Amino acid sequence: MSDTQQSPVMLVEAQGLKCPEPVMLLHAAVRRSEAGGLIRLLATDPSTQRDVVNFCRFLDHELVEQSDADEQFSYLIRKAGA
């Protein structure tokens, strides 16, 4: 079983929201989670493809996976500090 399947995942649903709201919700979820915690962000705003990558890079969080299908973007982020 992979590490992502063992750890609980905090879900952030940001479908229908526009920049900067998805990243603001992600930031709030990161604050609430523990170091090494996993957060799944679901969004429909295409700008999240750039914003989430930059958010993770700037704050040293790991972008574990990123996908898009049917105009929905999904990101799995591991909070830094584990």
Q: What per-residue confidence (pLDDT) applies to 6? A: 60
Q: What per-residue confidence (pLDDT) applies to 82? A: 66
Residues above pLDDT 70, as percent of the chain: 90
pLDDT bucket at 1, cuts 50 / 70 / 90 = very low
Cα separations in angstroms, 64 against 16, 17, 54, 56, 80: 23, 23, 14, 10, 12
Cα separations in angstroms, 82 against 6, 21, 35: 15, 26, 5
Instruction: Enumerate domains of the chain plus CATH numbers.
Output: 3-78 (3.30.110.40)
Is pLDDT at 5 greater than 90 in this prediction? Answer: no
* Bond prior to 20 in cis (omega within 30° of 0): yes
Which of the following is catalytic: 17, 19, 63, 64?
A: 19
pTM listed for this prediction:
0.90
The answer to whether 56 is a known catalytic residue is no
Bigger pLDDT: 67 vs 2:
67
